[in-house]
Amino acid sequence: MSQKTALIVWGGWEGHTPEASANIVKDMLEGHGFVVTMSNSTSAFADPDLGKFDLIIPATTMSKIEKEELQNLLAAVRAGSGLGGFHGLMCDAFRNEPDYQFMVGGQWVAHPGDIIDYEVNITKPDDPIVVGISDFPYHSEQYYIHYDPAIEVLATTTFDGSRFAEIDGVVMPVVWKKMYGKGRVFHSTLGHIADEFAVPEMKTMLERGLLWAAR
């Protein structure tokens, strides 16, 4: 059986510790026998052989992607390469590209209160990605996103009205999976900085989700 392969493309806003977080994910995947390729340029998405990767992980915030790079990435995932990632490094990677956002299933738009305490609630406890994980407290940015109602939501968070009264009680996806053509797509909004990988629930869901997404 051949080894699975993954591509991690990191970069963008340094506040999201892209290199450090990407290296944690690299070690995680290598622990499962993956051969991992790292790049700090979106030009990696233009590789004509991009579809050879079983898993592609964008880890770059507020970046720009060239048209040919994006079209190649979309085609690779639709043909069966998996796509997975976390926080704004995936769901705020390319703000100007609705085709990318459609593939991901959501786009970050706000985090009221910035770094706060909130709760993550497991909504599909029998799903293999979250099985055995209970609701848990989290200290980070609570992401408010615009999302595709077709995603399969595995965990949510509920906003209170302390920052904006009009969003009191709004339930927002935190972890989801979906299909994009033949490709599996996984996303978690947790993981603002590399230190958050020390939270067992965050790391476990991401690890399982990436393994699920990989072809």
Q: State residue 2's pLDDT score.
A: 82
Domain residue extents for the chain:
5-213
CATH architecture of 5-213: 3-Layer(aba) Sandwich (3.40)
- 121 Cβ neighbours under 8 A, 6+ residues apart: 135, 155, 156, 157, 158
Residue whose tokens read 């979106």: 42
Q: Note down pLDDT in tens along the chain; length 215 residues.
A: 689 999 999 999 999 999 999 999 999 999 999 999 999 999 999 999 999 999 999 999 999 999 999 999 999 999 999 999 999 999 999 999 999 999 999 999 999 999 999 999 999 999 999 999 999 999 999 999 999 999 999 999 999 999 999 999 999 999 999 999 999 999 999 999 999 999 999 999 999 999 999 99
- 85 Cβ neighbours under 8 A, 6+ residues apart: 57, 58, 59, 91, 186, 187, 188
| Whole-number Cα distances in Å, 207 to 65, 84, 113, 202 | 26, 10, 28, 9
